[in-house]
Amino acid sequence: MKPDLAVLQKHVTPSPFGRGAETVMDPTYRNGTELKVDEIAFRLPEDKKSLYETFVNSIEGELYTSMFVGKSVSLKFYKLAIYGEGGHFDWHRDSTHSDAHHGMVLVVLNTEWEGGELMLRHQGIKTIVNMHPTKYARKSGEGLRPVVVAFYTDTEHKVMPVTKGTQLVLQYDVEAIKQPPREWVTPPSYTPLKEAFHCHQHIASHINTYPNLHQTLVQAVADEIRELHQAGTTVVTFPLTHLYRKTSVKRKYLKGTDSTLFDTLEKHFNVVLHPVLIRAIEDGNDYDCLEQFYAHKYQLSEDNEEEPSGAQRK
């Protein structure tokens, strides 16, 4: 909790960010430094290595029960971000580094800074997170528990200016992919939706998270689709909740409520994913950004065995 900042500052580089197809440096938008994964290593005593592995494994377990139900989840260390006094990062979405990269995890190492709150925004919902470790009682006195923040890659986020001290943030990529069925294992009696609901009930007491998709909501969607079919509508389409890379618009890469909804509706209907290419344009005003969306026909690659060539997705 009290790292030697002087050692780190000797090796850091200014943090760039993506603006369209370019990688740029703009301190008015992002002011911070970083060490990438190939520039830093965890050299822990033998008796401490298992503690770090347990820490990472516990985060993976919580992600499996709250964000990626039914998927194989792995945490990959990406970089150490450093925000000194005045450091900040305006609203943005992080780039994805693989088709299976669907989440981010942030953990702050130290305690001595002020400001630097993390803001999250998705579909008009905003939340502010105080990244300072929380205090708890233990036998030997008072201890500190780090705040672990996890969110999907298409969630916009912002680091408020640090007003005093230096904030050190470990950043991890979360890779998740649908687990293939095992022929030698008896199929479970529960549905993905029930599993998500029960897991959410289990962790609700100690994890702050957006509610998972409730069964009554899914049933309402299914009933409305049936009514439309009975009225003569043969095809019903609606957009997914999250954004995806073009190459990862597949069932096995769906995340959160998209995955749960797909798995549940597939039991009643012929469900097909259709890709739509989305292009976001800013009008140049930092305080009032306008996003305009354009849908284009998207030709799938010929080696895609999961969907027919020429399929479109929304």
CA distance 289 to 309: 36
- pLDDT at position 31: 92
* In the predicted structure, residue 5 carries a pLDDT above the cut 70: yes
- pLDDT at position 193: 56
47 with 137: CB under 8 angstroms? no
What are the C-alpha distances in Å from 208 to residues 62, 64, 112, 150, 223?
11, 15, 24, 10, 31
Reading the block at residue 37, the tokens are 């994964």
The radius of gyration of the chain from alpha carbons, rounded to an integer in Å, stands at 22
153 with 106: CB under 8 angstroms? no
Parallel, antiparallel, or unpaired: how do β-strands 33-36 and 71-83 relate? Answer: antiparallel
- The band of 41, judged by pLDDT with boundaries at 50, 70 and 90, is confident
Burial 162-192 (b: 16+ CB within 10 A, else e): beebbbbbbbbbbbbbbeeeeeeeeeeeeeb
* In the predicted structure, residue 306 carries a pLDDT above the cut 50: no
Which residue, 44, 40, 70, is CA-closest to 55?
A: 44
Partners of 190 in the β-ladder: none
Partners of 305 in the β-ladder: none
What are the C-alpha distances in Å from 108 to residues 50, 166, 169?
20, 11, 4
Q: Which domains does the chain have, with CATH numbers?
A: 5-178 (2.60.120.620)
- pLDDT at position 287: 39
% the chain with pLDDT above 90: 28
pLDDT digits (tens, 9 = 90+) for 205-227: 445 544 455 667 777 888 889 99
CA distance 106 to 310: 39
More confident residue, 35 or 65: 35
Q: What is the mean pLDDT of residues 75-81?
A: 94
- pLDDT at position 35: 92
- pLDDT at position 212: 52
Partners of 114 in the β-ladder: 164
Which residue, 215, 177, 175, is CA-closest to 193?
A: 215
- pLDDT at position 52: 83
- pLDDT at position 291: 41
* In the predicted structure, residue 69 carries a pLDDT above the cut 90: no
99 with 248: CB under 8 angstroms? yes
* In the predicted structure, residue 314 carries a pLDDT above the cut 80: no
162 with 86: CB under 8 angstroms? yes
- pLDDT at position 277: 67
Q: What is the mean pLDDT of residues 31-53?
A: 83
Task: Measure CA 230 to chain center.
Answer: 38
Task: Measure CA 34 to chain center.
Answer: 20
* In the predicted structure, residue 106 carries a pLDDT above the cut 80: yes
CA distance 168 to 131: 10
Q: What is the mean pLDDT of residues 196-204?
A: 55
- pLDDT at position 293: 41
Q: What is the mean pLDDT of residues 153-181?
A: 90
CA distance 101 to 81: 19
* In the predicted structure, residue 197 carries a pLDDT above the cut 60: no
pTM of the model: 0.65
* In the predicted structure, residue 187 carries a pLDDT above the cut 60: no
152 with 242: CB under 8 angstroms? yes
- Ramachandran class of 31: left when φ > 0, alpha when ψ lies in -120 to 50, beta otherwise: beta
Average pLDDT in the chain: 77
